[in-house]
Amino acid sequence: MIEYVIEGGNLPVVICYPKPGETLVTESGAMSWMSPNMKMSTNTGGGIKKLFGRMFSGESLFINEYTAMMETGTIAFASSFPGSIIPYRVTPGNGIIVQKKGFLAMEKGLDLSVYFQKKLSRGFFGGEGFIMQKISGDGLVFLEIDGYCKEYELGVGESIIIDTGYLAAMTEGCTMDIQVVEGAKNIFLGGEGLFHTRVTGPGKVYIQSMPIIHTAQAISPYINISNGRDDGGINIRLGD
């Protein structure tokens, strides 16, 4: 397994130290810095089918492979948003399903594929999206989580209710469904929306504390995008 350290607190970066011949795979543009002996190769990661799968899941169309040459190398991948970087060891039959944009980097040999929700309602109303990503095989993957990451281990038949957008990842043994909020007063006055996500074990669930979409919604009232100005700038309003 590739050696690594995760640093940076709430602005994390994973620094990997691949031995000669070891390769790390990431989406285009995710590398932050590396030693001169790291050789980069860009490809579709499995042909046209894989390319279109990444397009649907919101990832970049091409992937980059970084291989250490001659001696142990150094390569770093930084999170694109304040939060957490979570390492997960994938084994056969114990893959992981992650939100779009949740994949950061992985060892070569793992398979990154599109994971479609089996019921349309789960995708349209669950807040996690109709299309997620599944990582399977045997190796190490690094996941990018928005905010703090809380892990739960669910037993067989054990469930947890998650507000829309907060589910970051779950192991492939878990199942996800949508639960309608009961009661008109709860729906219209509770402020939690119409639907919740219900995840049932067995397996691990990774919950994020600061989904990027919620953060964007929170700050949007304070950002005015210019309309018709010559400089095309952005006005930021602090306070009311």
Task: Identify the pLDDT of residue 217.
Answer: 73
Task: Identify the pLDDT of residue 57.
Answer: 53
pLDDT digits (tens, 9 = 90+) for 153-192: 999 999 999 987 899 999 999 998 877 665 444 444 444 5
Domains and CATH numbers, the chain: 3-219 (3.60.160.10)
pLDDT digits (tens, 9 = 90+) for 88-120: 999 999 999 998 888 999 999 999 888 876 554
pLDDT at 239 over 80: no
pLDDT tier at 30 (50, 70, 90 boundaries)?
Answer: confident
Strand partners, 171: 96
pLDDT averaged over the chain? 81
Asked if the peptide bond before residue 202 counts as cis, ω within 30 degrees of 0, the response is: yes
CA dihedral 80, 83, 85, 90 (to 10 degrees): -100
Spatial neighbors of 3 by CB under 8 A, at least 6 apart, are 16, 17, 18
Yes or no: say if 170 and 229 are a contact pair by the CB < 8 Å rule: no
